[in-house]
Amino acid sequence: MTSSVTIVSVFPGLLGTYGDAGNEMALVHRLRSRDVPVEVVRVEPGSPVPTSGDIYLLGGGEDRAQALAADLIGPALRRAVDAGATVFGVCAGFQILGETFSDSSRTTYPGLGLLDVVTEPLPHRAVGEAVVACALPGTSSVVGFENHRGGTRLGAGAEPFGRVVAGVGNALTPGTEGARSGRVLGTYLHGPVLALNPALADFLLQGVVSSLSPIDDALALRARAHRLASPHAH
């Protein structure tokens, strides 16, 4: 456990087109509200990705930006994971964590090999509200918004992030959404998902901070309830 938490946002300039920067803001808010010191490192191409961070965030991005990001991250993220870091990737950021991903023109790129998943294009883009039944400690229904052409197949070494209640999810392993292997997690859910789902944000923080006092989540819970009540969530 650490006294100051380092959050690394990986290439937000490349992986920042789907509003997932809010995940960093949500984690920072949850730490500052509890008087836990936090340092944020936003690393962009050209600078080395630090290997000593506590939590690494990767967001959604366009196909070309995603392929470039995967190529530039190098072995840094693997070293961080070996040292015990938590990694949370959304959409493109999730696909990059896998073994390989193919874009809509079916060009295949190597992923970082941190999740036993492969991504291939679906016949149609998956766009809309999504609800996922998630079994991570403290979480239940995770709500968000998906917007992806890639679908993902889980290998034996990855468990799903959750089961699809509403929406499309991984599609290539039907009924599943996202993937997890230890402290490496990936999901298709934007939102930003950590702002809409405080329990999920706290699950990520639990690996780093020894005790998490309750904080006022009234606004986030209202936003969640609104999403869950939407006709698209059923």
Please report, as ranges, the residues that interact with ligand GLN according to CB under 6 A.
18, 60-63, 66, 91-92, 147-150
**Smallest separation (angstroms) from ligand GLN to the CB of 90:** 7
134 catalytic residue (yes or no): no
Query: Which of 91, 148, 226, 232 is flagged as catalytic?
Result: 91
Closer of 28 and 122 to ligand GLN (Cβ):
122
Residue 172's CB is within 10 A of a number of other CB atoms, namely 16
Closer of 34 and 149 to ligand GLN (Cβ):
149
Are the C-beta atoms of residues 205 and 31 closer than 8 Å to each other? yes
Q: First-to-last CA distance in the chain?
A: 39
Beta bridge partners of 43: 10
Closer of 19 and 50 to ligand GLN (Cβ):
19
**Smallest separation (angstroms) from ligand GLN to the CB of 162:** 18
d(CA 75, CA 77): 6
Residue 16's CB is within 10 A of a number of other CB atoms, namely 18
Nearest to 57 by CA among 15, 95, 29: 15
91 catalytic residue (yes or no): yes
**Smallest separation (angstroms) from ligand GLN to the CB of 63:** 4
For the annotated catalytic residues, the residue numbers are 91, 190
